[in-house]
Chains A and B, each alone.
Chain A
Amino acid sequence: MAEAAAAKRIDFQTDPSRYHHWKLVTDGDRAELIMDVDENATLFSGYQLKLNSYDLGVDIELADVLQRLRFEHPEVRVVVMKSGKDKVFCAGANIRMLAVSTHAHKVNFCKFTNETRNSIEDSSENSGQKFICAVRGTAAGGGYELALACDRIILADDGNSTVSLPEIPLLAVLPGTGGLTRVTDKRKVRRDLADAFCTVEEGVKGARAVKWRLVDRVATNSKFDAEVAALATELAASIKKAPGAKGIALTPIPRAIAADTITYSTVRVAIDRPGRRATITILGPDANPPDDIATMHSQAAQFWSLRLARELDDAILELRLNELEVGTLVFKSEGDPGRVLAHDAFLANHAEDWLATEIRNYWKRVLKRIDVTSRSLVATIEPGSCFAGTLAEIVFACDRSFMFQGSRKGDNRGPATMLLSAQNFGAYPMSNGITRLQTRFLGEPESVGAAEKQTGKSLDAAACEDLGLVTSAFDEIDWDDEVRIFLEERASFSADGLTGLEANLRFAGPETMETKIFGRLTAWQNWIFQRPNAVGADGALKRYGSGVKAEFDKKRV
């Protein structure tokens, strides 16, 4: 069954007409998001999604809902998340699904669910959409983690409804979706109480849950809906956003998937299987941005900046989940850097427009998605490329960047250039809360200032190398060999070693809840997920539900 998980292509595109597990009901500035998992609509065979438990398929729909809430329902201010089932809010990630999944799938699943939880918090912070989790029945493990991602948690005080993180006592693993970090850093639960909470299988209910700060309020069944509504009104009032926003439709993304290529309108992915790498070519805008904001709204999902963000996001997810042996992603671009900068300027000049803001916030998340992608990231900046402003951020997200110096013989396009825009200096913070350039130049903050002074200027290879914006510049004499040898060498290293190396080097600087969540996921959870106490034949994940108690290696490491 784990084999099946590896063989089936996972698609991240969906829309409400195809949802199996979620229902979104909007009413003015309120929305209800109802989780009602269809236990038979699983991504793979070998398990059923009982008790509102989830697999990646459920989360792909949730991610889609959140995206549509932002773009299609900008009028919504408060989202109430609730269960469509009696007695259970959500039982978390499906254990049998985890037991039959490859390690790689488990890691990719956790990473994506984390990105989705972070996206809930991003909506709350930047899109004026607050989330209330209305928990009736049990919210266990991933179910409680879903609640933790919301702004407020209301728990039914009915003697049965509980919140719990039973991973340790039940499964010998950790909550994989930021549970521990959010308990201590977001809800600020006292550490000894958190320790007690995480080791008691049945969890905590009622007044104690409030006292321990695990939930915000409890309400009896009879008053539950009214309490939720009152809280929603309270939250809606706290949101400052102009009324009257009218959403746009996130129309299906046209793409052609062939054996070794994925082709979108602005992104081309070409996979070199023997070389274990994919080249992602980004196509710049073929026109300048419209003169006015209304035209952008009418272009909607066709507006270049948004179209590219959606296509690139999909391409990264495709490669992450469906192309495990592609170890290196090589970013290239083609187009007019001036037009890219014009788009950046257009979005910056219309910062008051909700859609312009959403597009920029989306780019922030796409870039973060690239940051946490466990593949070697390389940018090659060649004549004819358009790594400018927002697209230059992709270069700064890469582990290495190579820039072509001068022109190729017979190429009249002129030398490669990079351009910086205001977007490179604050619009797209990384998970560590600072920009990629600030992270890059942690030891030399003056270099950020030096780069900022060059905003809007065409920077050739020598200038980029001098400013520290690229790793190396090579002229025609060296280019082919240097790039080829680098890529071949990269492909020869241990995939695990590189994953660890890159994750360590990418996120210099401050620690945030997000960096903790991803860092601890990769370090601790992935370690535990590999250990016999969890996944061995006698381990807790394997024996879960068999009635036979797991056997543990008692040595502490």
Chain B
Amino acid sequence: MTTSPTPAGAVDYTTKIPNNINLAGDDRVLKALEQWHPGYIDWWMTMGPDGFQTSDVYLRTAISIDPKGWAKFDYVKMPEYRWGILLAPQDENRLVNFGAHKGEKAWQEVPGEYRASLRRLVVIQGDTEPASVEQQRFLGKTAPSLYDMRNLFQVNVEEGRHLWAMVYLLHKYFGKDGREEADGLLQRRSGDQDKPRMLGAFNEETPDWLSFFMFTFFTDRDGKMQLESLAQSGFDPMSRTCRFMLTEEAHHMFVGETGVSRTIERTCAAMKAAGIEDPYDINRVRALGVIDLPTIQKKANLHYSLSLDLFGSEISTNAANFYNGGLKGRFMETKIEDDHLLTSATYPVLKLIDGQIKSVEEPALTAINMRLRDDYSKDCQGGVNRWNKVIEKAGIKFAITLPSVAFHRHIGEFKDVKVSHDGKVLSETEWIKNRDQWLPSKSDGDYIASLMQPCWERGKYAGWLSAPKVGIDNKGGDFEYVKIHRA
């Protein structure tokens, strides 16, 4: 067999694991990944989408890292999806752009000094990827359409690929410990009492499709922010890996934003058709078989607050060390106009002072998490505004709002205090009295669950969700996105 040199950016399919990193020439990593592969497939078969492993799914697969043409669509059985290792191209002149090493050449190897910190960052990021697949594994059974089912599976296989990306870093750069950590990523389980996933939000249930949309909108957006800040890393392979992951993450965000938007759209349309103007006339709205806007707001409150917890404590010496070490930067670090050292800068941080929520100037270096969280909130707000346009267009007086960052928190400054949706500090009794106003109640959950009936007919959509404006890969809404062969 003769092989022609692989063009830059193209994926090499000659090894079992598609890649653009010349895996064929790296015996050591190839061997480690090939040893890891069966365990991964085993995990995918037991913890991946339940009941659809033999179905043909119309999925995109990365064939190049060229932004214009990197994806190829075709029917694939998920276990045969070609998970691969894809990194954004290397820029020979890239520098460390922030922290104490600012101006040095970006590192192509792990500096020994930062081995433990970098490994921890990779492992935490890596742990979230399989976790969300586990959280979403039963959703296929209640998919509101083949289109949505396909989107779910696309998200799932890409989370799987993101796990591969992190495992590649562990295998390539962290030796024996790295291989042990890579195995650990397949051993933990979302929500498992004995071996839970590392972060709280990834042990919560995703019981229904509205939760899935909210999760992809809010929680995957945290993932995007984390990847954005890791993409700034002075450790170049991490940066390159994360940059390519971000191109895929955009689709997950799209699934979330449009999913919620289509839910809202369907609710508004049904209300209008029935002549209901009061969005709080919940019983009448629910009688239409759609999800009332206040309940959508409650779902948003829940997922937003859980996702804020993922940013960690507002004031964090770990985050400061990661920044100062050049390991993890800020969102759009290179576009920010400051010294990128932050040794003397301050940043406003919301804190609980004498029972009041107040903004306090804190050293910017220790407030890195807070800053990333603020950028996240801004990013969320953009999507929320687009949802509100849909409501506005329907002429209904209602607007989805993001709750106060102090609301329903379990990590950080506000973890020990009860706060209302609009940021008022409450007594325990007030909180218990009002909780169901702001967070989904059991009956809200039961109602949504009652709507979760599969709708698998080509071109059909469940009654609580409107059809997408356009399909995937320029296919129509009635395209057979999943050919179901139930196992």
Contacts and interface: CB of A to CB of B under 8 A. Distances in A.
Tell me if chain B binds chain A.
yes
Interface of A: 472, 474, 476-478, 481-482, 484-492
A491 B113 CA distance: 8
A12 B212 CA distance: 74
A478 B115 contact: no
B110 interface: yes
Contact of B112 (A472, A476, A492): A492
B175 A478 contact: yes
9 contacts: A474-B175, A482-B176, A485-B112, A485-B115, A486-B112, A488-B111, A488-B113, A489-B116, A490-B112
A490 B109 CA distance: 16
A107 to B, nearest CB: 26
Contacts of B116: 489
B28 interface: yes
Given A477-B31, A488-B111, 14 more contacts: A472-B176, A474-B175, A476-B28, A477-B27, A477-B28, A478-B175, A478-B176, A481-B109, A482-B175, A488-B113, A488-B115, A489-B113, A490-B112, A491-B113
A476 B31 CA distance: 12
Interface residues of B, number: 14
Contacts of A492: 112-113
Contacts of A486: 112
Given A481-B175, A482-B175, A491 B112 contact: yes
A414 B335 CA distance: 54
Contact of B173 (A477, A481, A491): A481
Interface of B: 27-28, 31-32, 109-113, 115-116, 173, 175-176
A124 to B, nearest CB: 46
Main SS class of interface, B? helix
Given A477-B27, A477-B28, A477-B31, A487 B112 contact: yes
Given A477-B28, A477-B31, A489 B176 contact: no
Contacts of A484: 109, 112
A485 B119 CA distance: 12
A269 B109 CA distance: 27
B435 to A, nearest CB: 48
B113 A474 contact: no
Contacts of A485: 110, 112, 115, 175
Main SS class of interface, A? helix
A476 B175 CA distance: 11
A485 B107 CA distance: 13
A489 B112 contact: yes
Q: Which 7 A-B pairs have the closest CB atoms?
A: A488-B112, A492-B113, A489-B112, A477-B28, A485-B112, A478-B175, A482-B175
B468 to A, nearest CB: 48
Contacts of B28: 476-478
A492 B116 CA distance: 12
A485 B176 CA distance: 12
Contacts of A491: 112-113
A488 B107 CA distance: 14
A488 B111 CA distance: 7
Q: Which of A485, A489, A492 is the most central at the interface, judged by chain B CB atoms within 10 Å of its CB? A: A485
A64 to B, nearest CB: 40
Contacts of A487: 112
A486 B111 CA distance: 10
A429 B31 CA distance: 45
A482 B28 CA distance: 13
Nearest to A482: B175
Contacts of B32: 477
A192 B175 CA distance: 58
A472 B109 CA distance: 21
Nearest to B29: A477
A489 B115 contact: yes
A494 to B, nearest CB: 12
B156 to A, nearest CB: 32
A474 B115 CA distance: 17
A368 to B, nearest CB: 30
A492 B113 CA distance: 5
B108 to A, nearest CB: 12
A215 B32 CA distance: 70
Contacts of A474: 175-176
A488 B116 CA distance: 12
A95 B375 CA distance: 62
Q: Which of B27, B31, B32, B175 is the most central at the interface, judged by chain A CB atoms within 10 Å of its CB? A: B175
Contacts of B113: 488-489, 491-492
Contacts of A489: 112-113, 115-116
A486 B113 CA distance: 8
A363 B311 CA distance: 57
Q: Which of A472, A481, A482, A491 is the most central at the interface, judged by chain B CB atoms within 10 Å of its CB? A: A481
B348 to A, nearest CB: 33
A487 B175 CA distance: 14
A105 to B, nearest CB: 28
A480 to B, nearest CB: 10
Contacts of A478: 28, 175-176
Contacts of B31: 477
Contacts of B111: 488
